[in-house]
Amino acid sequence: MQTFAAIDIGSNSCRLKIARVQRHRLKVLHEDREVTRLGASVFSSGLVSPEAMAATLRALKRFYRAIKIHAADQVRVVATAALREARNGQAFVAWVHSETGWAVEIISGLEEARLIHSGVMARSGRRGRCLLIDLGGGSCEITLSERERIRETISLPLGAVRLTEEFLGGDPPTHEQIARMKQLIARELRKAERRLGHLHVSQVIATSGTAAALAEASWNAWKAKLHGRKARPAKADFLVETRSARRLAEKLTRMTQSQRSGVPGIGPRRADIIVAGAHVYAELLERLSLAGFVYSELGLRDGILAQMLAEHDSRTMAHQQFERDRWQAVLATCKRYGVDMRQAEPVRQHAAQLFRDLAPVHELPEEYLGWLEAAAMLRDVGKFMNYQGHHRHTQYIVANSEMFGFTPTQRTIVSAIARYLGKSRPEPADRAMRAVAPQEQAHVQRAVVLLRLAVALNQDRASDVLKVGLRVYPKRVLLELRPGRNGAELELWSLRKEAAYFREVFRRELFATLA
């Protein structure tokens, strides 16, 4: 049974969750959390302080020991807003790698929102139209979901640590400080209004620590009003109404930090940043005309684990949803950059066939099939910028585009496969290949050869799709082309041009003939 570990390095705290696969589902074995305030200095100075780095690394070392105890087979570590914006973020990433061996992924706000959505939907099964809100230390992700599919998502710089550092210096904060903060909140929320439009949602789900604190404080205040009578509904389904969120925000604003520490549900660890978070929630609920929110303990770590399960176990619902989301992201990128799908699809089909039929030759890991197909579809996006040198433009666009379901590392691999379709060949010193991990460079080179053959099979774009038969021998590979209505002479000539490179990479001769 596989065991996975997910680590979320947030702007306010670090979180760990370890889970084991049992009967195609995840069973949580261990959780841990530590407030490290990694983003405390980033949003004012642009740098992570040495103290915050050291505190975060101490927490990560504790996580490291827990992961060793539970013998996790795979670990994924992601970082969010603080490291996205810190000028010395890469130095911290290198420090973590030297101490733990982990490669930290700095994910975008939109990828963060996608993973949170995956985590919430994977276990809650909410199939209606709902809004997800995740207010962290550095950013706020808002996602509109319908039938477990993302319809729209937006990331706003409205994190509780960020706003506190920028605006709330007083204890308690002054009216002027609150007014300036609310001006920024209103300005950013107008962006959300334009993107999301008029919302008709059945439920609003809030995740992360700020939502947990506000929900707990609202729950305790509501219970106190009942004077000992039985509380309903259940705490897990408790709705923090918009008017309650506003009252709580105003109440917390008038308190000192020590007073807020004594509020049940807030506590000393969140008392200094809860005012900013409470005002963001109150403003957001009011501006979008929402009834309130329900807190969910699920979040980014659960999304990371869901994706790890989906990539590991093809029999899970998570895998099917993951594959659909990823392919929709590829198609959306093609559409955005004007790719002709009638030309791209035959190349994808041939690339997939070559991958399957030449498996004994290329010996690529199974996940390269999806990456090869994505590269086949995206290979011409660079023409949107300029036809001349479009392969270089393609590599840049793919590597830097937001594509749901692809990690930054995976986008780098896909972009490198799509890069070398002209006269150039992948070399370790190339800019595109330098970004690829050394252990993946030989795999990328083999995938490049397969994609070049698929492109060669589709030279005459006016003809119908060619049918290809493959025969693999110990020292050679034979491709038999069954000509369409317009023949296959151009494709035959193109394949023969690729024979030398095929021999260089696979140490076999490539022969192409007409059947």
Q: Which fold has domain 316-514?
A: Hypothetical protein af1432 (1.10.3210)
Q: Does the pLDDT at position 148 exceed 60?
A: yes
Q: Please tell me the predicted confidence (pLDDT) of residue 338.
A: 94
Q: Is the dihedral of CA 286, 292, 295, 296 positive or negative?
A: negative
CB-CB contact of 275 with 173 (8 Å): yes
Q: Does the pLDDT at position 234 exceed 80?
A: no
Q: Please tell me the predicted confidence (pLDDT) of residue 220.
A: 84
Beta strands in 100-148 (DSSP E): 104-106, 129-135, 140-146
Percentage of the chain lying above the pLDDT 70 cut? 95
Residue 174 per-residue DSSP state: P
Of the candidates 46, 280, 268, the residue with the CA atom closest to the CA atom of residue 178: 280
Q: 486 or 434, which is more confident?
A: 434
Q: Please tell me the predicted confidence (pLDDT) of residue 222.
A: 81
Cβ-proximal residues to 243 (8 Å cutoff; 6+ apart), any chain = none
Q: Does the pLDDT at position 142 exceed 90?
A: yes
Specify the CATH number for 110-301; select among 3.40.50.720, 3.40.50.300, 3.30.420.150, 1.10.760.10. Answer: 3.30.420.150
Q: Please tell me the predicted confidence (pLDDT) of residue 157.
A: 94
Q: Distances in Å between the alpha carbon of 286 and those of 40, 216, 219, 246, 485?
A: 28, 20, 20, 9, 63
Q: Does the pLDDT at position 229 exceed 70?
A: no
Mean pLDDT to the nearest integer, 380-407 = 89
Q: Does the pLDDT at position 507 exceed 70?
A: yes
Per the prediction, the chain carries an average pLDDT of 90
CA dihedral 466, 413, 338, 149 (to 10 degrees): 100
Q: Please tell me the predicted confidence (pLDDT) of residue 147.
A: 82
Q: Please tell me the predicted confidence (pLDDT) of residue 144.
A: 93
Lookup: tokens for 380: 């011409």
CB-CB contact of 215 with 270 (8 Å): no
What are the extents of the domains in the chain?
Answer: 3-107, 110-301, 316-514
Report phi then psi at 193, rounded to 5: -60, -45
Q: Distances in Å between the alpha carbon of 51 and those of 12, 62, 136?
A: 14, 17, 20
Q: How many residues does the chain have?
A: 515
Number of H helices, E strands in the chain: 22, 14
Q: Is 129 left (phi over 0), alpha (psi -120 to 50) or beta?
A: beta
Q: Please tell me the predicted confidence (pLDDT) of residue 461.
A: 55
Q: Does the pLDDT at position 52 exceed 90?
A: yes
Q: Please tell me the predicted confidence (pLDDT) of residue 416.
A: 96
Q: Where does the pLDDT of residue 426 fall: very low under 50, low under 70, confident under 90, or very high at 90 and above?
A: very high
Distance of alpha carbon 397 from alpha carbon 378, whole angstroms:
9
Q: Please tell me the predicted confidence (pLDDT) of residue 182.
A: 95
Give DSSP secondary structure letters for 416-458: HHHH-SSS----TTSHHHHTS-GGGHHHHHHHHHHHHHHHHTT
Distance of alpha carbon 131 from alpha carbon 202, whole angstroms:
8
Q: Is 3-107's fold the same as 110-301's? A: yes
- Kind plus residue range of the DSSP H or E element containing 164: helix 160-167
Q: Does the pLDDT at position 405 exceed 90?
A: no
Cβ-proximal residues to 219 (8 Å cutoff; 6+ apart), any chain = 231, 235, 238, 265
**Which residue do the tokens 């706020």 mark?**
140
Q: Please tell me the predicted confidence (pLDDT) of residue 324.
A: 80
Residue type present at position 39 = G
Q: Please tell me the predicted confidence (pLDDT) of residue 486.
A: 73
Q: Distances in Å between the alpha carbon of 71 and those of 2, 30, 271, 308, 359?
A: 9, 12, 36, 16, 32
Q: Please tell me the predicted confidence (pLDDT) of residue 488.
A: 83
The domain 3-107 belongs to what CATH superfamily? ATPase, nucleotide binding domain (3.30.420.40)
151 exposed, middle or buried (CB, 10 Å; 0-12, 13-18, 19+)?
Answer: exposed
Q: Please tell me the predicted confidence (pLDDT) of residue 244.
A: 93
Percentage of the chain lying above the pLDDT 90 cut? 68
Q: Please tell me the predicted confidence (pLDDT) of residue 175.
A: 94
Q: Does the pLDDT at position 124 exceed 70?
A: no
CB-CB contact of 378 with 327 (8 Å): no
Residue 77 per-residue DSSP state: E
Distance of alpha carbon 514 from alpha carbon 509, whole angstroms:
17
User: Do β-strands 292-295 and 203-207 pair in parallel, antiparallel, or remain unpaired?
Assistant: parallel
Q: What is the pLDDT of residues 84-95, one digit of tens each?
A: 999 999 999 999
Q: Does the pLDDT at position 330 exceed 90?
A: yes
Q: Where does the pLDDT of residue 311 fall: very low under 50, low under 70, confident under 90, or very high at 90 and above?
A: confident
Q: Does the pLDDT at position 130 exceed 70?
A: yes
Cβ-proximal residues to 491 (8 Å cutoff; 6+ apart), any chain = 456, 457, 458, 459, 460, 466, 481
Residue type present at position 276 = A
Q: 23 or 246, which is more confident?
A: 246
Lookup: tokens for 15: 């979180």
Distance of alpha carbon 131 from alpha carbon 331, whole angstroms:
24
Residue type present at position 203 = Q
Q: Does the pLDDT at position 135 exceed 90?
A: yes
Q: Please tell me the predicted confidence (pLDDT) of residue 236.
A: 65
Residue 26 β-bridge partners: 21
